[in-house]
Structure 1
Amino acid sequence: MKKSFVFVIHLGFWVAYFFLLFVILAAATMGFSSGISPGYLAKVGFSFAVLPPFITFYLCYCQLFPKYIQTNKTGLSLVYGVLYAVGAALVGGLSLSLFFGSGVMFKDGSVSFLSEIACMSLIGLAAGIMGIILKGFINWYDEIKLKEALLEKNTEIELALVKAQLDPHFLFNTINNIDALILRDPKVASEYLNKLSEILRFMLFETKTEAIALSKEIEYIEKYIALQKTRTLNDNFVRFTLSGSIAHQMISPMVLIPFIENAFKHTGNKKAADAITISLAVTDKKIVFECQNKYSDNNKSQIADHGIGNDLIRKRIALLYPGKHDLSITNVNQCYKVTLTLTHD
């Protein structure tokens, strides 16, 4: 919600509150024939009915709601809500004492003090509840707008990613390599053709869901690596390691693959050992993915963009894993490294 709208909501609340306060004070003072000094009324009203609710309202709005209510800490919410109200009432009592002397709160001893503090606390608590309601409404509205924006952006980004994955150069090169294998080793050529078919099926159908089994994503990666290996005779060109149990682990589709595809696109010497190293470490709470590729000076201009673009990939991950990811990209000594950590409940 725009700040101007939030300001209008706050202004509207306080205008309504002061109007109600004016009506109550007008009705309460009508019975006094001699009238009451406006200065006295302003001091009492400020200390008793303005300061405590104002303090409690914004403590609940800025502190209580985001820290305790939004995190479902019901018990602490009640405790701190009461403490805020009582604390604001004590501030109001201090203000009365400053205006009228320290004895004004103890006209009838401790009973008078406690009753006035309790009354101001109730007023403050009512204002605090309104602060919580307003904050909840604003958050609810913002979440709806955010979800709409995320859905729109995610759709756009996913379309761009799908288009990027259907790389014609990769398809043409793979088909040509398989064609060359048909005469030499028809069995191996058939295996690669099946892998290519499964990759295309995965990209067209599996990526439509919000989450897939991590095992399927890994199968795609392994098949993609196997097809890329047909372009070189170097068996040690790529090294892929997996640690941890992937059973029952889920992941958003096509999160890891763009980094791997970019690594293959921009790796320089395909005859070097471990030109590309990929690792995946899986635990109960997180998935740590690392992809590293070496490149030469000839690839320097291309490595800056690195495929479909780091900004696009970052945005997609941020949309899919808000507050639950850490993406680090380094480029040192002709070695490009991506480290992505995904956490989950």
Structure 2
Amino acid sequence: MPASSFNSSFIFTIWDKILRRSNNKIGCLVISNYFYCMKRMPVFLIHLICWTAFLAYSYGSYVADFKGFRSIAFSVSMTTVQIIQFYICFLWVYPNYLKQHKIPQLIGGMIVALLAFICLRYGIEEVFYPKFFGIRNYNPGTPLLYYFKDNVYWGTSYIVVAMAVYGVQHSFRTEITNKSLKNDVVKAELAFLKSQINPHFLYNTLNYVYSLAIPVSDKLADAVLKLSDLMRYTLSESATGFVQLVKEVDYVNNYIALFKMRFEPNFYIDFNINGVSEDQEIASLMLIPFVENAFKHGVVNEKDSPVRIKLRASTKMVVFEVSNKINRGQKDTSSGVGLLNIQRRLNLIYPDKHNLLVSNNENTYKTTLTIKW
């Protein structure tokens, strides 16, 4: 059963049965406090408080009404092995195997936890205590089969307790994660809506500026036209999420051309393309942030150290490399898409199908993006 399938009624039913077996009156209060505190305290502190409350109740009666060393010794041994068994399940078995496709491993882990309980209890009560204190829990000569059966009964409680507690913790964590994702979705939707300026207004405005620029300067008119192409690609062709790789390359070329107008004649770019075809697709605007980063923080006006851009595509993958000499002068402080945002997009769009390498030798900055189709 997946941990996410736990619900409150299921958990409280389990606890009711366990507490009836152990006749533990404080248990309901402890588990209720655990549920209440899950959202408000670190897990370690919650466990510490709950175990403190449980042990205080369990051993408070011994302080108030001393029942003899023998009774205390066997209570301590039982509690010790139960706590160890609890954390074997809570920290190892359930986090690793409480999944639909790992049911055999889950059963095996629970058996290991049960055997650990039996062996530890036997070692403490039937080996350690007789040797050092002269007391034992079971009569000498007790058949091992009887001992095993009896301890299966006592050893199952905390396996179930650990499952219930782990289920509660997992459910709260899932709830927090889902809430965070919902907030991210709302923020992303608001940002998207804010960015949806009417494209027709932009196009008409740029066309008007273009018409004004033609008599003044062909270079200015060409720059306005390229800017219009960039905005059209961003607002229109990126809406579906994926575009032809050739169109993404055209966008990069237009971006480079627009930058070249700004810095020419001292603008040096080495852009090599190999293997690109019209049947290849890529997430839109996936390549441009690397080029933008190189232009913003790199040196573009040295002939001997041009910004080098390489794009190699095949039927199985695309490799995009951008390297630039690091500009030690004043940096461009304008906003841009950082590598963290790029990495997040890659994780969402190409999970387990991408590799992003970043190298910096204090002189040259290089990024290599590999995407498998």
Residues 197 and 64 of structure 1, relative CA distance in 2, 3 Å threshold:
farther
Amino-acid identity (%): 23
Whether the 8 Å CA contact 2:311–2:318 is kept in 1: the answer is yes
Question: Structure 1, residues 228-263: CA drift from partner, whole Å, max 9, x if none?
Answer: 455647997331334588956553x44431221232
Unaligned runs of 5+ in 1: 27-34, 163-170
Match of 2:91 among 20, 42, 62: 62
Residues 183 and 306 of structure 1, relative CA distance in 2, 3 Å threshold:
closer
Whether the 8 Å CA contact 2:125–2:136 is kept in 1: the answer is no
Does 2:167 match 1:140? no
Residues 294 and 15 of structure 1, relative CA distance in 2, 3 Å threshold:
closer
Separation in 2, partners of 1:136, 1:340 = 35
Partner of 2:6: none
Deviation at 1:5, TM superposition (A): 4.6
**Aligned partner of residue 37 in structure 1, secondary structure:** coil
Separation in 1, partners of 2:359, 2:186 = 27
Partner of 1:165: none
Partner of 2:69: 39
Unaligned runs of 5+ in 2: 1-37, 197-205
Partner of 1:79: 108
Task: Give the TM-score, by structure 2 length.
Answer: 0.61
Whether the 8 Å CA contact 1:241–1:280 is kept in 2: the answer is yes
Residues 110 and 201 of structure 1, relative CA distance in 2, 3 Å threshold:
same
Question: Structure 1, residues 1-36: CA drift from partner, whole Å, max 9, x if none?
Answer: 7782534643575478669979xx99xxxxxxxx99
Residues 245 and 142 of structure 1, relative CA distance in 2, 3 Å threshold:
farther
Deviation at 1:108, TM superposition (A): 2.5
**Aligned partner of residue 272 in structure 2, secondary structure:** strand
Does 2:167 match 1:125? no
Residues 256 and 127 of structure 1, relative CA distance in 2, 3 Å threshold:
same
Partner of 1:92: 121
User: Amino acid of the residue matched to residue 228 of structure 2?
Assistant: S
Separation in 1, partners of 2:180, 2:274 = 36
Whether the 8 Å CA contact 1:82–1:125 is kept in 2: the answer is no
Partner of 1:316: 341
Q: How does 1:139-218 map to 2 (within 5 A)?
A: 139-148=173-182, 150-151=184-185, 179=214, 195-206=226-237, 211-213=241-243, 215=245, 216-218=247-249
Residues 118 and 65 of structure 1, relative CA distance in 2, 3 Å threshold:
closer
Question: Structure 1, residues 153-210: CA drift from partner, whole Å, max 9, x if none?
Answer: 7679989999xxxxxxxx9xx979x8599769x9xx5xx866543320222345566x
**Aligned partner of residue 87 in structure 1, secondary structure:** helix
**Aligned partner of residue 231 in structure 2, secondary structure:** helix
Question: Structure 1, residues 89-142: CA drift from partner, whole Å, max 9, x if none?
Answer: 322222222234697456431222211332233123212312431332243134
Whether the 8 Å CA contact 2:300–2:306 is kept in 1: the answer is yes
Match of 2:303 among 244, 268, 272: 272
Separation in 2, partners of 1:51, 1:86 = 15
Partner of 1:241: 273
Match of 1:4 among 21, 32, 41: 41
**Aligned partner of residue 338 in structure 1, secondary structure:** strand
Partner of 1:29: none
Partner of 1:328: 358
Partner of 2:150: 116
Deviation at 1:328, TM superposition (A): 1.5
Whether the 8 Å CA contact 1:289–1:340 is kept in 2: the answer is yes
Partner of 1:302: 330
Question: Structure 1, residues 47-70: CA drift from partner, whole Å, max 9, x if none?
Answer: 33x234322322232223333336
Separation in 1, partners of 2:195, 2:368 = 20
How many residues were matched structurally?
309
User: Amino acid of the residue matched to residue 46 of structure 1?
Assistant: V
